[in-house]
Amino acid sequence: MIQRSAYRIRHLVKSSILGSSKFKQGDLTYLPTCFLGVVSNGGDAEYADVDWNNLGFGLMPADYTYAAKCSVGESFVEGKVLPYGNIELSPFAGVLNYGQGVIEGVKICRGENGGILLFRPEQNAIQMQVGAERMCMPSPSVELFVDALKQTALANRRWTPPPGKGWLYIRPQLIESGPIHGVAPSPECTFLLYASPFGNNYFKVEERLILVEELMDVDEVFCTGTAISFAPVESITYQDKRVEYDMCAKQVSGELLAKLAGIQRGLIEDTWGWVAKID
C-alpha cells in the first residue's frame, strides 16, 4: 500500500491519489505504480528553478500530468492529477499498432498580475471531439476537457514562465490504449495531459515547394499555429523563381501577433470572451 496524502490545488482539484495500485472505475488501472505518490500544490516556490531569460524549446517536463480513461460504450469521467512519469501500454494497444490517437496543443500564460490564463480552451476541446469522431473514438466533454486543462495548469503553475517570458505548453492527447488485433475501435481509450514550458523564440520557417501561384504576387506571407502563433515567411521558391518578402517593413503578422499576445496575457481587453482566468 502507498501512504495516502491529502493535497490542495485550490478548489479546482477535487480528488486525491488513492492509496492502492489499482483504481476504481474511471481511473487508470494500466498505469504503473511509479505514477502513484503525493500530489501537492506544486511546491512552495513560486517558480521552478529555470533560467527564464534563456528558455528555448527543449524538453522540460513539468511536475504533474492528468489522466482519465473510458471503456468501449462508456463516457469519460473525471480523471486524476498524477506525478509525471512513464505510462504502461499493451504491445497490442491501438495507438501503437494503428496510430489511433488525437492530439491538441494549448498554451498557458501568466498575466501581468500573476494570474494563470487560458485562451479559448473550448475550441481545443471541440477540435479534439471532431478528430475523435473521425477516428471512431470516444472523447471527453468540453466541460471535462477544460476542467482537465485547469487542473493540469494549476498543478504545474510553478512551471508557467513569468509574464512575457514564455508559455506553459500543455499537450492533451487521446489514445486508444486498449489491446486490439485488427483495425477497429479499441476496448479502452485514455485521455492524457502533460506539460512543458517554452520560450518566446518562434520556430524557423522551412523552405519547401509551394504550389499556389498567387503567393508569388502578395506582399506578405506568414504561418500560424499554436506554438508559433504568427511566423513571417522570408521567401518562397516556385518553379525556379524565388520571391523574397520585405522582412523590415511593418507587417500585418506582427500587428496580429502583438494584439493576440496582448489578449492572451490580459494586457488588451478581451471583448470576445476568449480568455479564461483559472485562479
Residue 90 contacts by C-beta under 8 Å, 6 or more apart in sequence?
A: 30, 177, 178, 179
Asked if the model's pLDDT at residue 278 lies above 50, the reply is: yes
Distances in whole angstroms, Cα of residue 234 to Cα of each of 56, 197, 242, 251, 278: 22, 27, 11, 12, 38
Residues 225 and 148 in one domain: no
Q: Record the cell numbers describing residue 63, joined without a space.
A: 511536475
The more confidently predicted of residues 8 and 203 is 203
Helix (H) or strand (E) holding 244: strand 241-244
The more confidently predicted of residues 275 and 248 is 275
Q: Domain count of the chain?
A: 2
CATH number of residue 45's parent domain: 3.30.470.10
Residues 167 and 104 in one domain: yes
Span 19-48, average pLDDT:
43
pLDDT at residue 228 in the model: 65
Residue type, 233: V
pLDDT tens-digit series, residues 210-223? 566 767 777 788 87
Helix (H) or strand (E) holding 242: strand 241-244
pLDDT tens-digit series, residues 187-205? 999 999 999 999 876 575 5
Residues 191 and 254 in one domain: no
pLDDT at residue 128 in the model: 97
pLDDT tens-digit series, residues 136-181? 999 999 999 999 999 999 999 999 999 989 999 999 999 999 999 8
CA distance 129 to 120: 15
- The DSSP code for 159 is G
Q: Does residue 162 lie in a domain region?
A: yes
At 104, is the pLDDT very low, low, confident or very high (cuts 50, 70, 90)? very high
pLDDT at residue 26 in the model: 39
42 in helix, strand or coil? Answer: coil
Sign (positive/negative) of CA torsion 171, 174, 180, 183?
negative
Residue 101 contacts by C-beta under 8 Å, 6 or more apart in sequence?
A: 95, 135, 173, 174, 175, 176
What is the span of the domain harbouring residue 55? 33-198
Last residue of a domain, one of 198, 233, 259: 198
At 208, is the pLDDT very low, low, confident or very high (cuts 50, 70, 90)? low
